[in-house]
Copies of this chain bind each other. A is one copy, B any other.
Amino acid sequence: MTALRRLMQARSVAVVGASERPDAPSGFVIRNLLGGGFTGRLLPINPTATTIYGHPAVPKLADLTATPDVVVIAIPAAPAVGVVADAAALGIKAAVVLGSGFAETDAAGAARQHALAGHARAAGMALCGPNCLGLYNLRDNLALFSSRLAPDMPRGDVAIVSHSGAGAITLANTGRFGLSAIISAGNAVVTDVADYLGYFAATGSARVVALMLEQIGDPDAFARAMHAAHAVGLVVVALRSGRSARGAAATAAHTGALAGSNDAFAAFFRRHGVLEAADMDGVIETCVLASSRQSPPRRPGLAALGVSGGGLAHAADLADAAGVTWATLADATTTGLAALLPSYVRPTMPLDMTGIVFGEPKRYRAALDLLAADPGIGQIVAVQDAPVGLDADGAAEYAGIADAIAAYATTAPTPIALLSLLSSGPHPQVRAPLAAAGVPILQGGTPGMAALANALNPPTPAPIVAIPALASQPDWVRRLSGGPKLTEREAKAFLAAHGIRITREALATTADGAARLADTIGYPVVMKIESADIPHKTEIGGVHLGIATAAAARAAHTAILAAARHHAPNARVGGVVVQEMVSRGTEALVGLSRHAPFGLALTVGPGGVLVEWFGGHALDLLPLDAPAADRLIGASKLGNLLSGLRGQPAGDRPALAALLVRLARIAHTYADQIAALDLNPVAVLPHAQGVCVLDALLIRTCDTEPHS
């Protein structure tokens, strides 16, 4: 049995710090364990007591006669580190460390966490925590959980994995879905979300995993776990905290982890098929629908029906915001509905049955049967409120509709859900027959529609591609590792040395030299100050465009050096670069930037001095192959620009995609040296004419680190 399975399915449990004090964390664990149907061995460890809750206790782990599957450590942080070391030495392969006092507190806590993780990793242990509530595996009746558990928690197919302990408790006690497991992963320094995901994928013990994420420790492991999850149809929905600056600061204060950028997380989730929820209710409704006993939609079209035109119009607005695809009705469906309903009802989506069906619920059922027979419909949703504040007689008016839906659901060739536009959901009298018939009840318009969108358009994780790194060039490794900062010209030389086309250009140290270079390059030329100390050259008069004669080149050389002396007297100036002027093509921006924990990410979008600022850029993580590069271009506003908008010539999109792939390969090769690389603008020339980098800025890792 692997260490992780010992943790999740332990048959013998040692509890260090076992105590009968009513408020002791270990007491909760023991009471939960014994109350939760555990039939294995409980082994309390207590320095003085001979029994705990009637079970014989020993003073220390080493006194046990057999090696337990797991040790639960319910003592303060400092001694807990030593116990993990002892457990490792004794060959114990799994531990739960409950206490706080680790990286979430201060530097000393972080050091304790580092030591703890070292012991566990060296011994190949699985370790839940530290700074956690433990775990409860309902499938195997294993409750190693240090907070109160309701005795009748509903069992089912949803597993919860949460960095936040309170988040785990909250999500576990909504009463909205049945549970397979609850894992409070805490600081998750050894065993993290990726491991638990892998466990559920491998054991088939959950159909849905709800993640409450504060960070992703190992993106590669997470990606592999997601691919394993998708292979077995496991749905994974995540709520990430730290999406705002203040939320990220609160998260860092809470767990000591640093958050990455939202764009990078969104790209990661999209790549690997994680459904991202906007809030807790978004997680909950997706869990409700994805854990339904009905089969999932077989195609993306939604059909909605109801008795309130206003409610359906609102639902349509929310569907649009959630990105739901509507079904196009087949002619037979339209004809059938027209025959079924009054002449003034339009047989379209959403379908307003009007109040007449209160008196004739058979029509509601007949409409459901027509929709179920339509090959373009993947999911039916009955948009129906029956608010909880109604009295019994008021709620009874909805009985006919509820019965029609429930009767349909007993066969349900096409899955059906009820959507209450109120998050408080339907009145108990309406809820009961639907629940009995297995109809998932979605509560709240926005999260409910998000759940439907997730079901109708399940994510398809991209295959993990391996893009070969370029051969690293020793000279460039050296220049990227220290020494003076790179100028624009040097950054472009780096690109050229790795197969990327740049403008023809060279450095002129004299005015005559500039004129000679301009003659060689061909007019018009651009001339730019050469200095790594002047990042914004245009603003100080350090760039002259459209130089058409040798005399103008001479004059520009003099003027540019004078401007630099005036505006940046302390800047180190190497001369003036004379550069081919490319005024054709569409200006693009292409960039590499660091997004922890994912490393360098690639950005593409419209370029130029001002247009850059307008946005419309798209970001993806690495590795990136040509199809992914092309999709990224399409996701940015550059996609439309390159297609020949408003009479502009169409751009060489394949060449731009090839540039992105090459840059991704450069990023792999020099991952340690490059902090950021901005190519702006890149001229995307007309069809089949390629791309050319006009300007570049390379910031090395060593440029961003404080000098020691």
Which residues does A use to contact B, with CB under 8 Å? 23, 104-106, 109, 148-154, 162-167, 169-170, 172-176, 212, 214, 239, 241-251, 253-255, 278-281, 284, 307-321, 326, 343-344, 346, 348-350, 352, 355, 359, 385, 387-391, 393-394, 397, 421-424, 443-447, 536, 538-539, 606, 609-611, 613-616, 637, 640-641, 645-648
Contact = CB atoms under 8 A, between A and B. Distances in A.
Given A170-B308, A249-B316, A281-B446, 9 more contacts: A149-B394, A150-B390, A170-B311, A173-B394, A241-B316, A244-B317, A250-B312, A609-B646, A614-B615
Given A308-B164, A310-B214, A352-B253, A173 B388 contact: yes
Contact of A389 (B174, B343, B388, B615): B174
B646 A610 contact: yes
* Copies of this chain in the oligomer: 2
B613 A646 contact: yes
Instruction: State the 3 A-B residue pairs at the shortest beta-carbon distance, nearest first.
Output: A164-B310, A254-B309, A166-B308
Nearest to A359: B23
B387 A538 contact: no
Given A174-B388, A214-B310, A253-B352, A278 B241 contact: no
Contacts of A173: 387-390, 394
Nearest to A311: B166
Contacts of A349: 246
A388 B172 CA distance: 10
A254 B313 contact: yes
A170 B536 contact: no
Contacts of A423: 281, 423-424, 443-444, 447
A186 to B, nearest CB: 11
Considering residues A248, A319, A348, A394, which has the most beta carbons from chain B within 10 angstroms of its beta carbon?
Answer: A394
Nearest to A168: B310
A308 to B, nearest CB: 3
A246 B316 contact: yes
Nearest to A213: B310
Contacts of A648: 610
Contacts of A311: 164, 166-167, 170
A150 B394 contact: yes
Considering residues A105, A249, A253, A314, which has the most beta carbons from chain B within 10 angstroms of its beta carbon?
Answer: A314
A150 B387 CA distance: 11
B104 A279 contact: no
Contacts of A385: 166, 169-170
Contacts of A281: 422-423, 444-446
A450 to B, nearest CB: 11
Considering residues A255, A385, A615, which has the most beta carbons from chain B within 10 angstroms of its beta carbon?
Answer: A385
Contact of A614 (B151, B246, B391, B616): B616
A245 B616 contact: no
A443 B212 CA distance: 19
Contact of A421 (B280, B326, B609): B280
Contacts of A421: 170, 279-280
A309 B243 contact: no
Considering residues A446, A447, A538, which has the most beta carbons from chain B within 10 angstroms of its beta carbon?
Answer: A446
A326 B313 CA distance: 35
B310 A241 contact: yes
B391 A150 contact: yes
A394 B172 CA distance: 12
A394 B148 contact: yes
B344 A175 contact: no
Nearest to A318: B279
B445 A314 contact: no
A647 B538 CA distance: 7
A158 B168 CA distance: 36
B387 A170 contact: yes
B244 A316 contact: yes
A695 B165 CA distance: 62
Considering residues A150, A251, A423, A445, which has the most beta carbons from chain B within 10 angstroms of its beta carbon?
Answer: A423
A148 B397 contact: yes
Contacts of A308: 164-167, 170
A422 B388 contact: no
Contacts of A318: 279
Contact of A645 (B214, B309, B314, B613): B613
A494 B176 CA distance: 65
A390 B105 CA distance: 29
Contact of A279 (B247, B314, B610): B314
A614 B606 contact: yes
Nearest to A424: B174
A253 B172 contact: no
B150 A389 contact: yes
Considering residues A255, A321, A397, A424, which has the most beta carbons from chain B within 10 angstroms of its beta carbon?
Answer: A424
A32 to B, nearest CB: 12
Given A105-B344, A349-B246, A255 B646 contact: no
5 contacts: A165-B355, A174-B389, A242-B313, A242-B317, A613-B640
A243 B315 CA distance: 10
A211 to B, nearest CB: 12
A256 to B, nearest CB: 10
A201 to B, nearest CB: 24
Contact of A164 (B309, B343, B390, B446): B309
Contacts of A344: 104-106, 109
B445 A317 contact: no
Contacts of A280: 314, 421-422, 444-445
A550 B438 CA distance: 82
Nearest to A536: B647
Contact of A172 (B148, B278, B346, B389): B389
Considering residues A169, A316, A321, which has the most beta carbons from chain B within 10 angstroms of its beta carbon?
Answer: A316
Considering residues A149, A390, A422, which has the most beta carbons from chain B within 10 angstroms of its beta carbon?
Answer: A422
Contacts of A246: 316-317, 319-320, 326, 349-350
